[in-house]
Amino acid sequence: MADDFTRPGALLRTGMGLCGAHHSSAGAVLGGLTTRRGFPSAENESAEEGRASLRTQLAHVLGLPPERFAWCRQVHGSKVFTVTRPGLQGEGDALVTDDPSLGLLISVADCIPVLLWEVNGRRRGAAHAGWRGLLAGVLPATVSALSRLETSPGELRAWIGPSISLEHFEVGEDVAARFPSPYVHRRGEWARPHVDLKTMARDQLLEAGLQPAHVQICPDCTYQRRELYYSYRRDRGIRGRHLAYLTVRPGRIR
């Protein structure tokens, strides 16, 4: 059976502050993104303190033990961890696992959170895809890592979450020159070129073997929607972050 998605960009149980959550038809997979509405960031917290606080809040909201989650120290590269234990995995930008007891977490605040999963939820992946990570190939690397766990790319589902949009991702000519031309856009009213990161992410997933019907893009722009999202670029480096999460409900793996 096909996956049952919520409406792109919709809030799942608004009071909980979770955006774009999805689940499989079997009810096995639960994933999405925290928002600033339900998960405010304290200005006096360090980056790591803030992420630790978010992990605790998210676990409480989902009704899961916080020690179940795995995450990495993100460096805008393409390293993928195959996760067999919870906690910090090291420096990298993506996680994959076939352990149903583990939840995967990615931290973002303009970069793209990309979640990948099998319908039954056994094999899952989460990637942090900023512009540097996209150029480095973090998404095909994540699909390849899932393939090594005996997953067919054609069976994977993907969610490309809220991130900075084409309208607001302005770059210099030096950065624009590093992207394939179809993703670089110029308009008379723009002083500099803009790059379409979400479309590039989708195309990389399709080139890696995913089916077009299995890739969903959330249209929300983190820069534009101030009431819901932190934006590193808009807020000039403010510490606020979101957590993209992908987990399995206990007892739901077939």
- CA–CA distance, 116 with 101 (Å, rounded to integer): 17
> Is pLDDT at 226 greater than 80 in this prediction?
yes
pLDDT confidence of residue 126: 98
Question: Under CATH, which number does the domain 4-248 receive?
Answer: 3.60.140.10
Per-residue pLDDT tens for 187-201? 999 999 999 999 999
pTM of the complete model: 0.90
Contacts of 177 (CB under 8 A, 6+ apart): none
Per-residue pLDDT tens for 92-113? 999 999 999 999 999 999 999 9
List the domain boundaries for the chain.
4-248
